[in-house]
Structure 1
Amino acid sequence: MRLQNAWLLFGLLVRLGATTPFDESTLNKRATTFTNPILWEDYPDLDVFRIGDVFYYSSSTFAFSPGAPVLKSYDLVNWTPVSHSVPTLNFGNKYNLNSATDRAYVKGIWASTLRHRASDDQFYWIGCVESSKTFIWTSAGSNAVKNGGEVSTWDWKPKATLNKCYYDCGMLIDDDDTIYVAYGNSKIQVAQLNADGSAEVKSQQVYADPGGAYIEGSRMYKVKGFYYILVTQPASAEWVLKSKSPWGPYEKQILVQSISGPLPNAGYSHQGGIVNTKDDKWYYVAFMDSYPGGRIPVAAPITWTSDGWPQLVKDGSAWGKTYPMPVQTTKTVPPPVGTDNFEGSALSADWEWNHNPDTSKFKLLGGTGGIQLSTATITNDLFTARNTLTHRIIGPKSSGTFRIDISKMADGDRAGAVLFRDVAGYIGIHKSGSNAQLVYVNNLNLGDNWVTSATGTVAATGPALAAGTTDIWLQVRADITPAFSGTSAKRQTTFWYSTDGNKFTQLGTGLDMTNSYTFFTGYRFGLFNFATKALGGVVTIKSFTMQNI
């Protein structure tokens, strides 16, 4: 994925781990400023840090699998996903999407933390799941420090499970190599882990607001001898707690509170982390509630007072739309738009399944590419169908186009391209006997407690597809311009098809997207294939293209 036009060759080299700078004369001059948001995709609850020349970013994924994506950047502005810290959600059987009453929507990975520990050359991921247990995964052997931050291969393995919840946790590896974890809601705690990071040594409360304010989203740092815990007061403010000891006592100042911008009709920028460049310029990276697209990251520089408090650099009283680039470098990452032909032996880190997939029901074909999806579930409920493959939508407006081979669909199968969330719609093929019918289906809804309340209504039909039809192009065009605050507007998605990949025809009317935050995840493009009668049918995704519109 993330390959386009002149970037094609370089993007492939980056995917293979190459980092040799390109000849700058062959591309446009490097930008001197950046524009917020830095990445118009749904990457919430972020945790950012730097190793050498490389910035890393971790995010929430709830029940999507693999979980906890890892992104990298050379300039803190342009990001690409490179791995997932949790390759398989090992949190319980419900994460395998067994049935309509045994599934995990809106559960799973919430705010978690990621760091690299130089002493044992391991990345540590720590996250609390369902407010009960804390899971620890590690990836070793990268030589990241020696390689200037670069990681060519990842080797994530489950390390430990703690029988307590480090809610919304943030990790600090201190100068003496001690691992601390700040966590909690309202009552902020700090835990110390043992030498190999597999168990707790001690934990104590270090802060609670005297006025009783609710706070969460801890991120822990040490800067010039001071310990800092950043916490959010949802969903509008970021506080800074400061102490000379990890155990407190902590003082408090406000970093941002109800700060406007940089996008209209979005929420306030909050709940993030701080990170410095190699020349010690500091930045605060936060997210904005920007539904229907989700929660998207923004960045701004910070300065420090003489007594050690961070201060956000504003544009007047607002979060700036543009700022100077944090890093000038000729290194880059692939852009988020482009075509994925599903070549190679594994999916790129752009992709996540709706729950843990049934690995026996999909196969990358190698050679010229493609991914074969066999039906994995017999159901009439798309939300209960395993192996729905999803991809984040880039804003403000973009299209996702799947080219699929439908020639091996079986009687009763349903396959198609879905705008995936708790209020969903799709364009697809319903197979009945030997007939293959193009359909637009809306009214797929998850209701209270994420129980399916509606399995969909065929709102429009296209032409019947002739016997022997192989490839069909299904396209979803989504407008995820923020409509979360200050407007009652409904952003709309339309659904299109093509039989030649060139001329597209809209099917049905547009789908009004929900601006509700309670599903937390933003809308995604997705491809599904499930059975209503018997397993055995197959579709092959030959390519996926995402582009701005």
Structure 2
Amino acid sequence: MTRIFITLLVFALLPFSVAGQQTGKWGDQGNGTYVNPVIPADFSDLDAIRVGDDFYAISSTMQYSPGMVVLHSRDLVNWKIISHVVSDLTVINPNLNWDKMDSYGRGIWAGAIRYYKHKYWVYFGTPDDGFFMSTATNPAGPWTPLQQVWKVSGWDDCASFCDEDGQLYFIATHFENDPKNNKKYNIHLFRMAPDGKSLLMESDSVIHQSPGSEANKLFKINGYYYHLFSEVKQEGRVLMMKRSKNILGPWEMRQLNHVNKVLDKEPNQGGLIQLANGKWYFFTHHGTGDWEGRAASLLPVAWLDGWPVIGDPGKDSIGSMVWKVPKPINISNAVKGIQTDDDFYSSALQPQWEWNYQPRAGKWSLTERKGFLRLHAFMPADPAAANILLKAGNTLTQRSLRTTANEVTIKLEVKGMCNGGYTGLTHFSTSGTSGIGIKQFNNSRHLTYMSHHKDRIGPEVKNSIVWLRSVWDFRGINRYYYSLDGKLFLPFGEENQLVWGSYRGDRVGIFNFNTEQECGFVDVDFFHYRYSK
């Protein structure tokens, strides 16, 4: 009793920022307010813009395919996934293909989305392959084939900028510098060719250098050029801004927010947005990730003396995190919650899905059996990793949400399996993998629980249809269940702590591979995802 009382007393004394997180509330509250995060899932390296009455955002995807997710909102609080910029990751690097799978934490990093010259422009970088761009007349796609802007390594966090005279600029960070000075990153500014597909290298200019200076964005507001970026200080990674009447400087500089790794998880990288009514907001990720990854929050912006202060301004004119805020725009019919469910009746995968690496062509289908996702099994390319899910193709994933109650159920038809086949439902990151599924060997199928690359074989399953379920709570404690009739669900395996790894939050996914031969398939009838709103 004493321990419970102390816990409640400590919780009551916590600042609102922490208490708000512990309630598990998030997003649109239905009463004209919202609670951060607005998306309690892994939408990292955000950037956002307004075009008319619509808001668009992009988020990095690393090794997941399709890559660079695009979101849409009408009120900055309720978001939907509408497309991806990159359909084939192997255009960037063959190591992002299903037969390599060795680029966790690499792939598509941060980028920026802009609208000018009657098109949407997305630029992004990878740490190994340089910078790429694509354009679209509709952010829902199609996006033009990927164009490599500059083949280089050791650079990141780029953005484009179109000045009033039509001149295009490109800004990015060089994070691999002289080993004697590797704590300081150089931010470079270039002019671009008129088509935006290449840099004018002779225009290269270093406009800032500091520890960990990244997350670059350029704006022109009221006659000033503003350079927004993040920087590592003693308190953590904070937002900084420089301004000048000339794009090449000289610059004034201010800190825009204070951060705390524990209490607010360092909101930093994001997009600065002005509404039609003149108010400003900052759509950002939380740079310190927990098991759900780097979640998305929306912070109000107050302009003080010509500087945008992010969050709640303090006596020092520097902002701090806010958790409960009036909505910027009230839309009565806003649909709350990001997409999750799929009954696989569409001829295309719903936009919330991303494969772990570029999938193998011809090994999955939505048309071979109408209303089902068919996953064909094949062996991992690396024989030494035959039973390791992180090396297995045909793993289709979604982001795991951090809400008070979460439940995913899939219905599988497994009669098409053959010996060596392994299929099921999984949570995975590079720091921890678990799952429940069906493994076939000696011409019989068995319920199987997987944790940290080790399997526990359960009873034989003679049914051709099986339901698998994962349930997890706000803490990320997950438990698996199975059913043979879709009504009675029984637990199997132990509790697991969901984790993040390689800059990515936990993913929930469906997998099917074979440890012995290229043989067999399963049909997925549905993927139902319930979460508290």
Name the TM-score, length of structure 1 as normaliser: 0.82
- In structure 2, the residue matched to 1:504 is 489
Assess if the C-alpha contact under 8 Å between 2:429 and 2:507 holds in 1.
Answer: yes
CA offset at residue 368 of structure 1?
A: 5.5
Q: Is residue 2:408 matched to residue 1:411?
A: no
> Shift in Å at residue 512 of structure 1?
2.6
1:293-347 residue CA offsets vs partner (Å, 9 max, x unmatched): 10001111112124x2111341877422111111122453463265311221111
Secondary structure of the 2:41 match is coil
Task: Give 3-state SS (helix, strand or coil) of 1:94's partner.
Answer: helix
Aligned ranges 1:217-296 → 2 under 5 Å? 217-234=215-232, 235-259=236-260, 267-288=265-286, 289-296=288-295
Shift of 1:442: 0.5
2:424 equivalent to 1:426: no
Alignment partner, residue 454 of structure 2: 457
* CA pair 179-343 structure 1, distance change in 2 beyond 3 A: farther
Letter in 1 for 2:440: K
* Candidates 146, 154, 175, aligned match of 2:164: 175
**CA-to-partner distance for each residue in 1:393-432, whole Å, 9 max, x for gaps?**
1112412221111110111100111101111111011101
Matched position secondary structure for 1:108: coil
Pairing of 1:92-491 with structure 2 (within 5 A): 92-99=93-100, 103-117=102-116, 119=117, 121-140=118-137, 142=138, 153-164=141-152, 167-184=156-173, 185=175, 186-202=185-201, 203-209=203-209, 212-234=210-232, 235-259=236-260, 267-288=265-286, 289-306=288-305, 308-314=306-312, 318-330=320-332, 332-333=334-335, 335-336=337-338, 339-365=341-367, 369-378=371-380, 379-396=386-403, 397-422=405-430, 423-443=432-452, 456-459=453-456, 461-466=457-462, 469-479=463-473, 481=475, 491=476
**What is the CA distance between 1:169 and its match in structure 2?**
0.8
Does the residue aligned with 1:169 lie in a helix, a strand or coil? Answer: strand
Give the direction of change, closer, same or farther, for the CA distance of 1:46–1:152 in structure 2 (3 Å limit).
closer
8 A Cα contact 2:131 2:149, kept in partner? yes
Give CA deviations for 1:363-392 in whole Å, capped at 9, x if unaligned: 113886221110133432221111210000
Distance 1:527 1:266 in 2: 32
The amino acid across from 2:303 in the alignment is W
Give 1:352 deviation, angstroms.
0.4
Distance 1:340 1:438 in 2: 24
For 2:396, give the aligned amino acid. Answer: L
Report the counterpart of residue 56 of structure 1 in structure 2: 56
Per-residue CA deviation, residues 255-310 of structure 1 (Å, 9 max, x unaligned), is 112258xxx6652222222111111210012222241110001111112124x211
Q: Which stretch shifts more, 351-360 or 225-234?
A: 225-234
Helix, strand or coil: the match of 1:383? Answer: helix
1:535 aligned to 2:514?
no
Secondary structure of the 2:147 match is: strand
Q: CA deviation at 1:70?
A: 0.2
Partner of 1:452: none
- Higher mean Cα deviation, 518-527 or 245-254? 245-254
Q: What one-letter code is carried by the residue in structure 2 that aligns with 1:91? A: I
- Larger mean CA deviation between 431-440 and 74-83 belongs to 431-440
Provide the C-alpha distance between the structure 2 equivalents of 1:152 and 1:68, rounded to a whole number of angstroms: 12
Q: Deviations over 1:501-544 (max 9, x none)?
A: 232111111113346xx510000101110011211210111111
CA RMSD in angstroms, aligned pairs only: 2.3
- In the aligned structure 1, how far is the partner of 2:277 from the partner of 2:369? 44
Contact 2:340 2:352 (C-alpha < 8 Å) held by counterparts: no
CA contact (8 A) 2:231 2:239 kept: yes
Contact in 1 for aligned 2:159/2:216 (Cα 8 Å): yes
Q: How many residues align?
A: 477
Q: Contact 1:430 / 1:438 at 8 angstroms: preserved in 2? A: yes
Residue 230 of structure 1 contacts residue 273 of structure 1 at CA under 8 Å; is this kept in 2?
no
How many Å apart are 1:168 and its aligned residue? 0.7
Amino acid aligned to 2:152: K
CA contact (8 A) 2:465 2:484 kept: yes
Change (3 A) 1:105 1:54: same
CA contact (8 A) 1:336 1:394 kept: no
Please, which runs of 5 or more residues in structure 1 have no aligned partner? 1-27, 143-150, 444-455, 482-490
1:16 aligns with: none
Tell me which residue corresponds to 2:3: none
Cα distance in 1 for partners of 2:60, 2:399 equals 13
Deviation at 1:37, TM superposition (A): 0.5
How far is the alpha carbon of 1:132 from its aligned partner? Answer: 4.0
The amino acid that maps onto 1:345 is: S
The runs of 5 or more residues in structure 2 that have no matched partner are: 1-27, 176-184, 381-385
Residues 407, 41 of structure 1: alpha-carbon distance in 2 compared, 3 angstrom cutoff: same
Q: Aligned letter for 1:493? A: N
What one-letter code is carried by the residue in structure 1 that aligns with 2:444? N
SS in structure 2 of the partner of residue 167 of structure 1: strand
- Aligned-partner Cα distance in 2 for 1:428–1:214: 43
Runs of 4+ in 1 over 4 A off after TM superposition: 315-318
Is contact 2:98-2:360 (8 Å) kept? no
Judge conservation of contact 1:172–1:222 (CA < 8 Å) in 2: no
